[in-house]
Copies of this chain bind each other. A is one copy, B any other.
Amino acid sequence: MKTKLPRCCPSVLGTRLKRDDAEELASAFKAIADPGRLRLLSFIAAQPGAEACVCNLIEPLGLAQPTVSHHLKVLAEAGLLVRERRATWMFYRLVPERVRALQDALALPVDKPATKRSA
């Protein structure tokens, strides 16, 4: 490791985001990193009570029923939606706190002066 050329800069760079935190955050963002799922969230959020029946999501989304079901599952597993059975129908309701959490994760260092990070 013989360095002939000078270093470009002080090389501070304290590791901010840990590996585990990064993986967790990434999987959360993966959940919304799909056009269909974003539209699902949008559709549901636009409903009164921020909830919707699956039967009302399939047609406007323009995807096959199994595909919609799959996307809803992904969103639910990411904690962005909660399922609730109502008679024959299945309702999905938005979890605003979870959305807010993702929003906060995108806060720049400037935005959060001295906040302690927990999850």
Taking Cβ atoms with an 8 Å cutoff, the residues of A that contact B are 5, 8-9, 11-17, 19, 22-23, 25-27, 29-30, 32-39, 42-43, 45-48, 50, 52-53, 55-57, 60, 62, 86-89, 94, 96, 99-100, 102-103, 106-110
Contact = CB atoms under 8 A, between A and B. Distances in A.
Contact of A35 (B22, B32, B89): B22
A80 B87 CA distance: 46
A36 to B, nearest CB: 8
Nearest to A24: B35
B103 A45 contact: no
A34 B38 contact: no
Contact of A107 (B50, B60, B103): B103
